[in-house]
Amino acid sequence: MKDIPTKYDPQKKEDEIYSAWAKAGLFNADENSAKDPYCIVIPPPNVTGILHMGHALNNTIQDILIRWKRMNGFETLWMPGTDHAGIATQNVVEREIAKEGLKRQDMGRENFLKKVWEWKEDYGSTIIRQLKRLGCSCDWDRTRFTMDEGLSNAVKEVFIRLYEDGLIYKGDYIINWCPRCGTALSDEEVEHRDTDGMLYYIKYPVQGKKKLEKENEDYVVVATTRPETMLGDVAVAVNPKDPRYESLKGKKLILPILKRELDIVFDEDVDPEFGTGALKVTPAHDPVDFEIANKHGLASVNVMNPDATINSVGGNYEGMDRFECREAIVEDLKQRKLFVRYEEHEHAVGHCYRCHVVVEPRLSKQWFVKMGPLAKDAVRVVKEQKVKFYPDRWTKVYLNWMENIRDWCISRQIWWGHRIPVWYCSDCLKYADVRDVDINGPGGKGVYVGKDAPKACPTCGGNNMEQDPDVLDTWFSSWLWPFSTLGWPEDTKSLETFYSTDVLVTAQEIIFFWVARMIMAGLKFRGDIPFKDVYIHGTVRDATGTKMSKSLGNVIDPLDVIKEVGSDALRFSIISITSQGQDVFLSRDKFDIGRNFANKLWNASRYVLMNLDEDVLEGELDAKALSLSDLWILSSLNDCIDKVNKSLERYRFNDATAALYEFIWHKYCDWYLEISKMAKDKKTTQKVLVKVLTRSLQLLHPIMPFITEEIWQKVPGKTSKWITTSEWPSREEKFDDSEARENMELMIAVISALRNVRAFWNIGQASKVDVVLDVSSSVEEKLLERTTPYIEQLGRCSVKEIGKNVTRPEQSVAALVGGVKVFVPLGGAVDLDKERKRVEKKVEELGKYLLSIEKKLANKAFTDKAPEDVVQKEKSKQERFRAERANLQENLAALQ
RNA sequence: GGGCGCGUAGCUCAGCUGGUUUAGAGCGCUACCCUUACAAGGUAGAUGUCGUAGGUUCGAAUCCUACCGCGCCCACCA
């Protein structure tokens, strides 16, 4: 008799167990191992972040895979780490110093960065701690950070290689500019939101016309959503085929307010259908306009400062914020009778993904990566299925993006990040602002690209080299993650062993940012794919379907859930409600699934372990010596093993939880445990109980690591010290006895039928009923005789007679189970009306089914074309229904 | 403007390559049970024209088409 606490306390136990695992070094991977490697690289969370439900789902999935493979004998490496999240982290620290009234510019670059590092030291391990709390079995000794020396070295190496290959360039283009963060963003970092805006119609006078009477003769009307950008207009463009504007050839327009002279240019790209068909051209603030301007050799006029206030070009508007200026300009135009009208206009407006401020398209000198050449191979490997997406539909999304890929703006005007490894010589290059230096200038003179600061200018030998002030996009380090974390550019044993990794588990939001770029980087720098499978799980949303985010305040904090029900329950719950790739709609009560299941498992284990004789334990089970129920539960276990394996192989995690839930709860607990209470062969039963329990624990361990380990530790005579490193169960064919299963199922059906009759006729639990069993074969007779004790106990009855053609007891009803009729005398007063109603209803139902079956069988096409077994099934179904119907009617007659 | 996903029991959802499903689970609901592992439990039960309309097929919740609702992603129409 073992003493096992009635309640399991996840709060206390989960921490204890995790420490024990860590101490035993169970998660450490050995690159020199002879075993097959299996590697997953964690999608690095933001170093300033805290664990949210998305992380919980993402990491639970990875942990399930890693633990499953570990138990299957693979040398597993789950590579953890965090990324420095340039803009986000800098924003956090800036907010922090703002409390002391400071700006980063006041502190200076060096001091500010010191502050960020301090912040990272203080808070950067929060998310790591939380991942441990979730149970993640990462090899924490290998934890990497994108700003580590090794990874920084990889970043520089990559920059230099791309530069030397001509795939990195610097130039003036329209980029997405976040006025609040004060930096350029890549296209992927802009979130487009449909916004109800206005389309403003404005008159631009034709040069020399005093009175503005006739449209397209005295003036032209242009339509714009952003009137403030007119300060930067250099032309008006119309479609050459547009008859309305033919007469304007050779004429000029006057920009209202600023009185700038504007060309009229004719360009095919202008859509005559939109607005008035006349497009104001603002090359410095719109990508389309920029292109048109380039084609027609027009200059650009930048009208904004980095913070999106109007600069000196704007005259009276100088210093105004862009939206303030918009209103002011509209007002002024109205005054001057140049404003025609506005209409409501919905359009997509870009917002910064970090601070959500409206992004400003802005002409600026930035660094770019040429993506076309990199994308080619990345498209190929996916088309050739070397990299596979699960679910498959993401393949199309990926390919569509890849095939229309645009160059990647990688420079950021912030301080926290990998500084661009380029130095300029102020002696060779005369520049006012170092950021404006054009590296594509004459022969690259005075420019140095390398890992470390040059001692002297390679061109003139001078000592006045200044490093480019910008840093690189954080994703420029993340895209190297699968190999940089393994030691690249060094040729390490880790790389050799674990690259390519096996699977990447991530959310759809990150396909373009990260997945696609990792594939490109892997192929370019390692010559091989970074991972074979990409599993895209759903987005975690709240009950209303909104994405969970801190700013919306609709989050369910996983740590709160863990506090309440434990990490195991959180994991089991979230996995069981997540079907492949479908979004997850969460609410608090969902976590009861896991909590209740953990409770059930704990109590069942208590029962098994408490009633164990000391000398039971191991020893092979002889299939021939096993009872019906033993064989039944053992072969059901075989099925469960198959289902779990198959589900995990196909990334169908909820199927695995469903199979385990069904097996452990409804087969093992509901039936086998109950039957075990009256087993004759105690020793064998105990052996089976323990065997099935330990196997179940193992199968469940990847999903619920803690409680399974806790129970495992209490199992006597276990084969492995830790369940974590125990050998994954495999099916044992010798227990697959289909006859035993059929018989057991018949017994279960008989008992269920008895219970049904009892409930329907309100025969109280306390009173035993007498039962007579009528069988149609001697096999059934033998079986029922053998299992009488179980039927009596679980069906709460006393079996009076078993046989062929037994006499039906007076005033009895019969439940029909296969070929067995279960007669239950009702005794006392019988409510005939009640029975009649029930019978009528059922007969009607059965009649419906029978009719459809008859129709089917009468159809020659069906009997000819359908497979034999399907037809046979229909026939036996028909027989069954007929027998059932006859039985019901007999019941009614017998009671009258 | 393109692409994708979803509409199945009161609620939240499973249901993979058409026929072992007389459409399932969990929660909720009803009735009866503190049966010595578990009331976070046990037993039994009720509730569905599988969004609508067509089509393919001997056979469709499952495949095709259109439509209606809901949601997401991508896109330089100012």
Question: Cβ of residue A187 near strand B, that is under 7 Å?
Answer: yes
Nucleotide nearest to A861 (CA to C1'): B58
| Residues facing residue A78 across a β-bridge | A40
A863 CA to centre of own chain: 47
What band does A272 get if pLDDT is binned at 50, 70 and 90?
A: confident
Question: Cβ of residue A549 near strand B, that is under 7 Å?
Answer: no
User: Which of A's residues 553-572 have CB atoms within 7 A of nucleic strand B?
Assistant: 565
A397 CA to centre of own chain: 16
User: Which of A's residues 687-726 have CB atoms within 7 A of nucleic strand B?
Assistant: none
Check residue A843 and give its pLDDT. Answer: 86
Question: Cβ of residue A825 near strand B, that is under 7 Å?
Answer: no
DSSP classification of residue A509: G
User: Which of A's residues 351-410 have CB atoms within 7 A of nucleic strand B?
Assistant: 393, 396-397, 400-401
What band does A835 get if pLDDT is binned at 50, 70 and 90?
A: confident
How far apart CA A257 and CA A120 sit, in angstroms, is: 51
Check residue A476 and give its pLDDT. Answer: 96
CA of A475 to C1' of B72 (A): 24
Nucleotide nearest to A864 (CA to C1'): B58
Q: Comparing C-alpha atoms, which of A289, A281, A271 is closest to residue A173?
A: A289
CA of A6 to C1' of B32 (A): 27
Nearest residue to nucleotide B22 when comparing alpha carbons to its C1'? A849
DSSP labels, A607-668? HHHHT--TT-------GGG--HHHHHHHHHHHHHHHHHHHHHHTT-HHHHHHHHHIIIIIII
User: Which of A's residues 652-681 have CB atoms within 7 A of nucleic strand B?
Assistant: 652, 654-655, 658, 661, 665, 669-670, 673-674, 677
Question: Cβ of residue A596 near strand B, that is under 7 Å?
Answer: yes
Residue A267 CB: number of other CB atoms within 10 A? 17
Q: Comparing C-alpha atoms, which of A833, A854, A841 is closest to residue A885?
A: A841
Specify the range with the lowest mean pLDDT, choosing from A354-358, A638-642, A670-674.
A354-358
CA of A381 to C1' of B24 (A): 40
CA of A503 to C1' of B5 (A): 23
Phi, psi of A526, deg, nearest 5 = -115, -10
CA of A645 to C1' of B64 (A): 34
CA of A541 to C1' of B5 (A): 15
Check residue A546 and give its pLDDT. Answer: 62
Q: By three-state DSSP, how is residue A554 classified?
A: coil
CA of A585 to C1' of B27 (A): 14
DSSP labels, A360-429? EEEEEEEEEE--HHHHHHHHHHHHTTSSEEESTHHHHHHHHHHHT---EE-EESSSSSPBP-EEEETTTS
Check residue A542 and give its pLDDT. Answer: 66
Q: By three-state DSSP, how is residue A845 classified?
A: helix
CA of A838 to C1' of B53 (A): 37
Mean pLDDT of all residues in A751-761: 88
Question: Cβ of residue A593 near strand B, that is under 7 Å?
Answer: yes
How far apart CA A853 and CA A844 sit, in angstroms, is: 14
Residues in chain A: 896
User: Which of A's residues 241-280 have CB atoms within 7 A of nucleic strand B?
Assistant: 270-275, 277-280
User: Which of A's residues 500-539 have CB atoms within 7 A of nucleic strand B?
Assistant: 508-509, 512
How far apart CA A506 and CA A496 sit, in angstroms, is: 24
Nucleotide nearest to A396 (CA to C1'): B3
Mean pLDDT of all residues in A825-850: 80
**Residues 6+ away with beta carbon under 8 Å from A63:** A78, A134, A135, A136, A137, A571, A702, A705
CA of A754 to C1' of B43 (A): 11
The pLDDT tens digits of the residues spanning A792-801 come to: 989 888 898 8
Q: Comparing C-alpha atoms, which of A313, A314, A337 is closest to residue A324?
A: A314
Check residue A608 and give its pLDDT. Answer: 93
Mean pLDDT of all residues in A300-311: 90
How far apart CA A17 and CA A1 sit, in angstroms, is: 24
CA of A475 to C1' of B6 (A): 32
Question: Cβ of residue A756 near strand B, that is under 7 Å?
Answer: yes
Check residue A763 and give its pLDDT. Answer: 79
Q: Comparing C-alpha atoms, which of A100, A90, A99 is closest to residue A48?
A: A90
Mean pLDDT of all residues in A343-350: 86
Mean pLDDT of all residues in A759-785: 84
Check residue A44 and give its pLDDT. Answer: 93
Nucleotide nearest to A760 (CA to C1'): B44
CA of A763 to C1' of B33 (A): 12
Check residue A547 and give its pLDDT. Answer: 64
pLDDT at A260 over 80: yes
The pLDDT tens digits of the residues spanning A287-302 come to: 999 999 988 889 889 9
Check residue A711 and give its pLDDT. Answer: 96
Question: Cβ of residue A4 near strand B, that is under 7 Å?
Answer: no
Tell me what ipTM this predicted complex has. 0.95
CA of A825 to C1' of B29 (A): 31
User: Which of A's residues 851-890 have CB atoms within 7 A of nucleic strand B?
Assistant: 856, 859, 861-862, 865-867, 870, 873, 877, 880-881, 884
User: Which of A's residues 293-352 have CB atoms within 7 A of nucleic strand B?
Assistant: 347-348
Nearest residue to nucleotide B4 when comparing alpha carbons to its C1'? A393
Question: Cβ of residue A600 near strand B, that is under 7 Å?
Answer: yes
How far apart CA A491 and CA A144 sit, in angstroms, is: 17
How far apart CA A671 and CA A689 sit, in angstroms, is: 12
Contact A782, A788 (CB under 8 A): no
pLDDT at A620 over 80: no
CA of A645 to C1' of B31 (A): 40
Indicate the residue type of A688: V
How far apart CA A393 and CA A389 sit, in angstroms, is: 8
Nucleotide nearest to A871 (CA to C1'): B19
CA of A728 to C1' of B16 (A): 25
Nucleotide nearest to A589 (CA to C1'): B27
The pLDDT tens digits of the residues spanning A19-35 come to: 999 999 999 999 999 99
Contact A635, A739 (CB under 8 A): no
What band does A543 get if pLDDT is binned at 50, 70 and 90?
A: low
Nearest residue to nucleotide B38 when comparing alpha carbons to its C1'? A603
pLDDT at A541 over 80: no
Nucleotide nearest to A670 (CA to C1'): B42
Nucleotides of chain B touched by protein CB (<7 A) = 3-6, 12-16, 19-20, 22, 25-27, 31-33, 35, 37-38, 40-45, 57-59, 70-78
pLDDT at A416 over 70: yes
Question: Cβ of residue A117 near strand B, that is under 7 Å?
Answer: no
Contact A125, A51 (CB under 8 A): no
Sign of CA dihedral A716, A568, A652, A726: negative
Sign of CA dihedral A333, A335, A338, A339: positive
CA of A142 to C1' of B64 (A): 52
Nearest residue to nucleotide B6 when comparing alpha carbons to its C1'? A582
Question: Cβ of residue A287 near strand B, that is under 7 Å?
Answer: yes
Q: Comparing C-alpha atoms, which of A469, A388, A482 is closest to residue A431?
A: A469
Specify the range with the lowest mean pLDDT, choosing from A269-283, A608-622, A624-638.
A608-622
DSSP classification of residue A727: P
pLDDT at A442 over 60: no
**Residues 6+ away with beta carbon under 8 Å from A9:** none
User: Which of A's residues 201-230 have CB atoms within 7 A of nucleic strand B?
Assistant: 223-226
The pLDDT tens digits of the residues spanning A31-67 come to: 999 999 999 999 999 888 888 899 999 999 999 999 9
The pLDDT tens digits of the residues spanning A153-201 come to: 999 999 999 999 999 999 889 999 999 999 999 999 999 888 888 899 9
Q: What mean pLDDT is reported for chain A?
A: 90
Check residue A19 and give its pLDDT. Answer: 97
